[in-house]
Copies of this chain bind each other. A is one copy, B any other.
Amino acid sequence: MMHETSSESPASAAGPDFSRNDGLLPAIAQDVATGQVLMLAWMNAEAYAETVRTGRAVYFSRSRGRLWRKGEESGHAQRVHQILVDCDADTILLRVEQVGAACHEGYPTCFFREVTPDGLRVVETRLVDPSTVYRRKSE
């Protein structure tokens, strides 16, 4: 679907600029069908290159310190339909088809809580029980 962009290539000409933000750029995943914002994760050049090459969203997990192939445990992968970059080429927007629940808490989006005067309020419905999905505590 898309070619692989070398991290050495001039950023604004070809893709994200991994010389910025210490090589770790925020990547927003948005449902291509509904427009719902699903999650924000991080990509380094390697995660981005694999995403482009495979058409599946691959992030860099800051907590685990390694590539995180979204859905590798849960099966809840993201098929990438479109990749956009922002004006500074230091934020990535993935328009994806989400398999199952985007959030490891079992919700369709990680943004399932609204800030209200009375605290956080859950505004989404759980799709799956996380305990049936994950072998480990969380993705």
Contacts and interface: CB of A to CB of B under 8 A. Distances in A.
- Identical copies of this chain, number: 2
Nearest to A90: B40
Nearest to A118: B3
A103 B85 CA distance: 12
Interface residues of A, number: 41
Given A114-B83, A115-B5, A120 B14 contact: yes
Interface in A81-135: 82-88, 91, 93, 103-105, 107, 110-117, 119-120, 123
23 contacts: A2-B116, A3-B117, A15-B115, A30-B37, A35-B35, A35-B36, A37-B37, A37-B93, A39-B86, A40-B86, A40-B91, A82-B114, A83-B115, A84-B111, A84-B114, A84-B115, A86-B103, A86-B110, A86-B111, A87-B104, A87-B105, A87-B107, A93-B111
